[in-house]
Every structure is written in structure tokens, then in C-alpha cells.
């Protein structure tokens, strides 16, 4: 495994994005406690922030011991609603080549960014759908919110903190995406902007005419702004996906990304509910970890006709991994993106590519 993608909790956030699948209204912070409203058959409960962080740290620790990865990615919901998580950074930064923090960017400020700057291997990932209110129609509608996020992007860039921006493509923003990149070209350095299409909301999905225009503008402008974007092959794959409206090829993301959450759940895939493998905080933790890359679902996701329904509308920034394993992206191209440009990460990806190639060859030789 190469990346450990750990979600502290899906249930606490300060935004209510239209396309977000999470039940963010379930959790509220009250002083030093987190209160979770009842849902389904589960009762309401509250937990101290200290216990909450200790539990998450235990999940991360157990996973590090069992499935060592060079990269740790952490997220909320909105993780900065629990700013005490930063107390873990000094320990985590020493245990991983890269620690990436996913946030919506609204709660960042100069003191927080100054603290992040102390760790040379901390990377940031910000979710933002454009540089105008109209482009962010499905995220927020307040100009002050947008202004704050854009200011924080500049502060992160000035602090030389490696940065990725996740841009969810919808009918509301796809036509302005390359204008967005051009705008950031004047204020961000060391940044990679990943566009990927909205999921599970067909009414918000870009229209065919918008996808055609997106392709035309890409061809006209890519060379001028490629230093802010993933390789061109990523865009070809993205456009192919959007035209088809569904995934037409297999996926290797579960083979490279370990997915856990603060309640101890270990998932086969971080991008969707492919399969729950068990709970790493339970007495059966060993069974859960032993199923990683051994359960039949890992073979299924490599074949589009066998993969579960949740894979059909899935295209994320992790597509870079698929493209590298498929041979569409080179090592040199990987190194243009700070998140991958670490020797240990490159070495692991090369080993994974070779392993997958051997597996494919073996299957062909037996058919």
C-alpha cells in the first residue's frame, strides 16, 4: 500500500455542499465535546475531543504497524473544526514521507498556516470549484467565504506549502475551469489543480456541449498552464469518462490506498462503498487487515464488468495512479506533482506497476 487515507469523521462540517454524500448534520461540537445526533438505529452520544482524537490516533497507529505506507492523508468532514488534531502533526510528520491534509479552506488563517509551515512534509489539499461565486453554486453562496479561501490559497503558496486543489466539475463551473486555472496562475506556486466530475447527481453533471467545449479549451490552453495541472493523459481519461457518463475501465486505487475512518472501519476503497473489511479497533482487527488485497473485491474492481455499482460513476484525482500503472504516465510526469515526487512513493508505485503487470501476464498465460 502507498497511501493511508484516514477520515476522522464524515459527520462534522461547516459547509453543506449540494453534492456531498455525508450526513454532516449528525455531529456538533459543544465545548470540549462532540455530540452525535441519533441516526438509524443508533442512539445519540457524546464524546470528548480528547477521546475522539485518541481513537483516531489509535486507528492510524495500528494501520501503520500493519500496512506501512509512505503517505498519510487525513480529512474530516472539515478537519479544522477540531483544530486540536494539529497536536498530532509533530508525531505523524516523523512517521510518514508526506502527510496531506484535506480541507475546504474556510477555517485556515495565518497562525495555522505558520504552524503548518514548520513541517516540511505537510501538504495541503483544498476543495474549491472555481474563482467565482457562480462556479461554487453547489458549495456555498457567500462572497466572503470565497474571498477567505482564495486568500488562504495565496498564504499557503507564499509559505511554500505543497498544495492540491480538488475541483468538482458540474454544469455550473466546467465552462470556467480553465479561467479558474489562469486566475490561480497569478497567485499560486507549487500547486496541482485536479478537476473531476460530480458523482451521484446526474442533474448537475456537465452537458455534452460543455464537455466538447472543455476539450477544445484544453487543447488551446494546456501548454500555457500545464505547470498547474496533472499530465495531459489525465484530461484525456477525464473527457472519455464524462462523454461515456460512466467508468469504462478497471481501477487499481484499492490496491494502493488503505482506507480507514475514526470509528475503526476499514474499507476496501476510499472512493466508495466497495466493501467493508472489518473494524481495526475490534478484537478481529487482524482479520480485517488480512483481507486487504486478498478479498475477491480487489480482483473485481480491476474489471469494469465485475466492479460494484459504486464504481460506475467514480473518477477522482487518484486516477493518476491508474494511469501510471497502465503505463499512460511516466515516472518523469509523476515527479511534476509534489504529492508523488518523493523517492519512496515513486519506488512503491513502480513496484506496484510491476506487480500488476506480472499478474495480468499470468492471467493471459493461463487463458
In this prediction, residue 189 carries a pLDDT of: 82
Statement: residue 244 has pLDDT above 90? yes
Statement: residue 162 has pLDDT above 80? yes
Supply 137's cell numbers: 453554486
In this prediction, residue 360 carries a pLDDT of: 54
In this prediction, residue 359 carries a pLDDT of: 60
In this prediction, residue 40 carries a pLDDT of: 75
In this prediction, residue 187 carries a pLDDT of: 86
Supply 312's cell numbers: 460506475
Considering only CA atoms, which of 253, 248, 269 is closest in space to residue 323?
Answer: 253
Statement: residue 237 has pLDDT above 70? yes
Range scoring the smallest mean pLDDT among 39-43, 68-72, 190-194: 39-43
Statement: residue 224 has pLDDT above 90? yes
**Secondary element (H or E) of residue 64:** helix 49-66
- Domains of the chain (ranges plus CATH)? 1-24+50-367 (3.20.20)
Torsion of CA 17, 58, 321, 21, to 10 degrees: -20
Express each pLDDT in 299-354 by its tens digit. 999 998 999 999 999 999 999 999 999 999 999 999 999 999 999 999 999 999 99
| Cβ-contact 356, 255 below 8 angstroms | yes
Counting Cβ atoms within 10 Å, is residue 92 exposed (0-12), middle (13-18) or buried (19+)? buried
Statement: residue 361 has pLDDT above 60? no
In this prediction, residue 250 carries a pLDDT of: 94
Looking at per-residue confidence, does 254 or 40 come out higher? Answer: 254
Residue 187 and residue 152: Cα distance in Å, rounded? 11
What average pLDDT score do residues 94-106 get?
Answer: 97
Cis before 77 (ω within 30): yes
Sheet of strand 163-169: strand arrangement: 191-197, 163-169, 122-127, 98-103, 71-75, 3-7, 257-261, 265-267, 276-279
The pTM score is 0.95
- 3-class secondary-structure state, position 315: coil
Counting Cβ atoms within 10 Å, is residue 364 exposed (0-12), middle (13-18) or buried (19+)? exposed
- The mean of the pLDDT values for the chain is 94
* Beta-bridge partners for 28: 35
- 3-class secondary-structure state, position 6: strand
Query: What does the radius of gyration of the chain's CA atoms come to, in whole angstroms?
Result: 20
In this prediction, residue 61 carries a pLDDT of: 97
∠ at Cα 32 (31, 34), nearest 5°? 90
Amino acid at each position: 500500500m502507498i497511501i493511508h487515507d484516514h477520515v476522522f469523521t464524515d459527520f462534522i462540517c461547516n459547509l453543506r455542499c449540494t453534492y456531498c454524500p455525508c450526513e454532516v448534520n449528525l455531529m456538533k461540537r459543544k465545548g470540549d465535546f462532540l455530540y452525535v445526533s441519533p441516526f438509524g438505529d443508533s442512539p445519540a452520544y457524546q464524546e470528548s475531543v480528547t477521546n475522539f482524537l485518541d481513537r483516531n490516533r489509535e486507528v492510524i497507529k495500528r494501520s501503520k504497524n500493519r500496512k506501512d505506507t509512505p503517505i498519510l492523508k487525513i480529512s474530516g468532514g472539515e478537519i479544522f473544526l477540531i483544530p486540536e488534531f494539529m497536536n498530532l502533526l509533530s508525531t505523524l510528520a516523523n512517521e510518514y514521507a508526506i502527510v496531506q491534509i484535506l480541507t475546504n479552506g474556510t477555517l485556515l488563517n495565518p497562525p495555522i498556516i505558520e504552524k503548518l509551515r514548520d513541517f516540511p512534509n505537510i501538504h495541503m489539499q483544498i476543495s474549491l470549484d472555481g474563482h467565482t461565486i457562480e462556479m461554487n453554486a453547489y458549495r456555498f453562496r457567500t462572497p466572503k467565504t470565497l474571498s477567505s479561501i482564495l486568500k488562504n490559497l495565496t498564504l499557503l503558496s507564499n509559505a511554500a506549502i505543497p498544495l492540491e486543489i480538488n475541483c468538482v466539475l458540474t454544469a455550473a463551473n466546467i465552462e470556467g475551469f480553465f479561467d479558474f486555472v489562469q486566475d490561480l496562475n497569478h497567485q499560486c506556486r507549487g500547486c496541482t489543480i485536479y478537476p473531476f466530475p460530480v458523482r451521484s447527481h446526474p442533474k448537475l453533471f456537465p452537458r455534452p456541449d460543455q464537455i466538447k467545449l472543455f476539450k477544445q479549451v484544453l487543447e488551446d490552453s494546456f501548454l500555457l498552464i500545464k505547470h498547474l495541472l496533472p499530465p495531459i493523459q489525465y484530461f484525456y481519461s477525464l473527457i472519455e469518462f464524462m462523454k461515456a457518463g460512466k467508468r469504462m475501465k478497471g481501477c487499481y486505487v484499492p490496491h494502493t490506498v488503505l482506507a480507514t475512518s475514526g470509528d475503526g472501519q476499514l474499507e476496501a476503497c476510499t472512493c466508495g462503498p466497495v466493501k467493508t473489511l472489518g473494524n481495526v479497533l475490534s478484537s478481529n482487527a487482524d482479520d480485517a487487515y488480512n483481507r486487504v488485497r486478498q478479498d475477491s473485491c480487489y480482483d473485481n474492481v480491476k474489471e469494469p464488468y465485475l466492479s460494484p455499482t459504486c464504481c460506475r460513476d467514480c473518477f477522482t484525482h487518484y486516477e493518476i495512479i491508474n494511469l501510471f500503472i497502465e503505463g499512460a504516465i511516466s515516472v518523469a510526469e509523476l515527479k511534476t506533482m509534489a504529492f508523488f515526487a518523493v523517492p519512496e512513493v515513486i519506488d512503491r508505485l513502480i513496484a506496484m506497476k510491476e506487480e500488476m503487470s506480472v499478474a495480468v501476464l499470468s492471467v493471459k498465460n493461463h487463458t
